[in-house]
């Protein structure tokens, strides 16, 4: 199969907003190439999200293909209290934060977050309004603390506060998050994104609350998370490089390096990784992206990301369908370049000393050696798909699973196409089923080799141990 004929391997995540959440808009986005719909629980009511979920599931039934839904929880967002109009802070000024609910002015403002007071240290920075204002802690009292303004500007009510130098002892799930999580799980979402992860224990606590009803994606957007990156990745089902808040709390020049490191860390252990935020930002208002934005999307592909995400571009933008189409073209061009110039591909990963990894590696190696046109994997849990995707095969990859929940979750995974299968203990019958599905999809010609991998006894999760070469 020629590089131009290969299906797009890197997946597209699109955030749904008021205008893009109608059945007609969702259908257009799916047809444009969206693989995963993101519901941002920082905006909209549960009732509005329920309507979107119903519309997506109806669209899934209509399209005859699994559609993945990602519920993104708001997390513990910190904000200043109310502020009177016209307040402007000047560099060098002293400014006080306290526990009062009184309206703030040019000398003080309330900060209704006890966990911040508990973690304070002299010299710690406060970044307000996405870093537009920078203040540094000078002295700490019982119910207030004094800062020095380093970068001034207007201060208005309820602006967000970032504290890049502190690890806050706050629970990973707020009361709102717990309510939204229970609601999302009852609605049958496939992935849950956990915001502002700081420690691996945050992930473990959230996974306990999810209790296996969805996969958990940790959003890396705090410097504290970088100190525990390996443990967080290990504890998570997937990871999002959330460059918005991460770019506020880190120097901008450090973000690209950390993006590469996070992607590499996830690939090493076979965890899906999504690169997010401002990828085609200018297309919120313009019909074409900047050349720098196109390079940014391609860079995520070259790094080996499983998926790239659109935020405001599809949630509130003027050109949501065109943005998805453009992202698809950029991805296809980048993947075509990798096929033509393998030296620019993400690096091959070291071999793990396990049977499951050995089978996945052997599957991909065998397929490439015999010139197979398709890899077919039978999977009841999705783990086989994850292990094979980790190897980034240069040929199409089809996963057959009897469980729609598994097929939906795999929609975010690099290179993975899915189809339903029947539950059988007959490997020969399974091979026939896989070959028939390939024929139905027209993804391999008559006489082509197909590599099929499954577990024996057939249909039992975690037993992938058998490889077969078949001919269409």
Residue with tokens 């500007």: 153
Query: How crowded is the C-beta side of 93, counted as CA atoms within 13 Å?
Result: 16
Picking from 178, 233, 175, 222, the residue whose alpha carbon sits closest to that of residue 197 is 222
Identify the helix (H) or strand (E) that includes residue 220: strand 215-220
Helix, strand, coil % over all residues of the chain, rounded to 5: 40, 25, 35
- Written as six digits, the tokens of 222 are 């705090």
**How far is the C-alpha of 41 from the C-alpha of 63, rounded, in Å?**
26
Whether 38 is catalytic: yes
**How far is the C-alpha of 222 from the C-alpha of 243, rounded, in Å?**
10
- Written as six digits, the tokens of 34 are 């969206």
Active-site hit among 38, 52, 159, 392 = 38
Residue with tokens 């934060």: 97
Contact by Cβ (8 Å): 208, 244: no
- Written as six digits, the tokens of 95 are 């400014």
Whether 260 is catalytic: no
| 415: Cβ contacts below 8 Å, ≥ 6 apart | 9, 389, 392, 393, 396, 397
Looking at residue 5, the DSSP 8-state letter turns out to be G
**How far is the C-alpha of 177 from the C-alpha of 172, rounded, in Å?**
9
The per-residue DSSP string of 261-315 comes to HHHHHHHHTT--EEEESSSSGGGGTSSS--HHHHHHHHHHHHHT-SEEEESHHHH
Whether 219 is catalytic: yes
**How far is the C-alpha of 145 from the C-alpha of 94, rounded, in Å?**
10
Active-site hit among 10, 15, 147, 277 = 277
- Written as six digits, the tokens of 381 are 């849990």
**How far is the C-alpha of 391 from the C-alpha of 9, rounded, in Å?**
13
The verdict on whether omega for the bond into residue 457 sits within 30 degrees of 0, i.e. cis, is yes
Q: What are phi and psi of 332, to 5 degrees?
A: -60, -40
Active-site hit among 11, 219, 267, 387 = 219
Beta strands at 161-162 and 153-154: parallel, antiparallel or unpaired: unpaired
**How far is the C-alpha of 121 from the C-alpha of 251, rounded, in Å?**
20
Whether 277 is catalytic: yes
The three-state secondary structure class of 460 is coil
Residues annotated as catalytic are 38, 79, 219, 277
């Amino acid at each position: 199969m020629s590089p131009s004929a290969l299906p797009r391997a890197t997946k597209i995540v699109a955030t749904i907003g008021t205008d893009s959440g109608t059945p007609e808009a969702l259908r257009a986005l799916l047809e444009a190439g969206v693989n995963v719909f993101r519901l941002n629980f920082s905006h909209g009511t549960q009732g509005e999200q329920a309507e979107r979920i119903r519309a997506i599931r109806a669209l899934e039934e209509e399209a005859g293909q699994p559609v993945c839904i990602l519920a993104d929880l708001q997390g513990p967002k910190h904000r200043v209290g109310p502020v009177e109009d016209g307040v402007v802070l000047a560099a060098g000024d002293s400014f006080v934060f306290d526990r009062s609910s009184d309206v703030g002015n040019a000398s003080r403002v309330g900060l209704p977050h006890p966990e911040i007071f508990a973690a304070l240290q002299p010299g710690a920075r406060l970044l307000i309004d996405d870093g537009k204002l920078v203040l540094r802690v000078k002295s700490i009292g019982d119910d207030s603390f004094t800062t020095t303004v380093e970068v001034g500007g207007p201060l208005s009510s309820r602006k967000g506060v970032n504290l890049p130098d502190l690890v806050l002892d706050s629970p990973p799930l707020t009361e709102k998050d717990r309510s939204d999580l229970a609601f999302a799980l009852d609605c049958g979402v496939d992935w849950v994104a956990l915001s502002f992860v700081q420690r691996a224990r945050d992930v473990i606590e959230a996974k306990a609350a999810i209790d296996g009803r969805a996969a958990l994606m940790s959003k890396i957007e705090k410097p504290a998370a970088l100190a525990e990156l390996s443990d967080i990745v290990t504890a998570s089902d997937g990871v999002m490089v959330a460059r918005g808040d991460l770019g506020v709390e880190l120097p901008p020049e450090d973000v690209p390096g950390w993006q590469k490191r996070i992607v590499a860390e996830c690939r090493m252990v076979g965890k899906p990784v999504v690169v997010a935020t401002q990828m085609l930002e200018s297309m919120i208002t313009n019909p074409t992206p900047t050349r720098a934005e196109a390079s940014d999307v391609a860079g995520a592909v070259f790094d080996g990301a499983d998926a790239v995400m659109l935020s405001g571009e599809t949630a509130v933008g003027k050109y949501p369908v065109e943005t998805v189409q453009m992202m698809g073209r950029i991805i296809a061009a980048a993947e075509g370049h990798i096929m033509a110039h393998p030296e620019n591909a993400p690096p091959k990963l070291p071999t793990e000393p396990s049977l499951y990894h050995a089978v996945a590696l052997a599957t991909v190696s065998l397929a490439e050696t015999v010139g197979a046109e398709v890899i077919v994997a039978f999977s009841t849990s999705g783990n086989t798909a994850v292990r094979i995707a980790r190897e980034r095969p240069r040929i199409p990859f089809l996963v057959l699973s009897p469980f729609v929940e598994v097929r939906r979750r795999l929609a975010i995974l690099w290179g993975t196409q899915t189809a339903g299968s029947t539950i059988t203990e007959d490997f020969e019958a399974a091979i026939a089923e896989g070959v028939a599905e390939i024929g139905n999809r027209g993804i391999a010609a008559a006489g082509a080799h197909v590599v099929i991998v499954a577990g024996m006894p057939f249909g039992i999760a975690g037993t992938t141990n058998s490889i077969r070469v078949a001919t269409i």
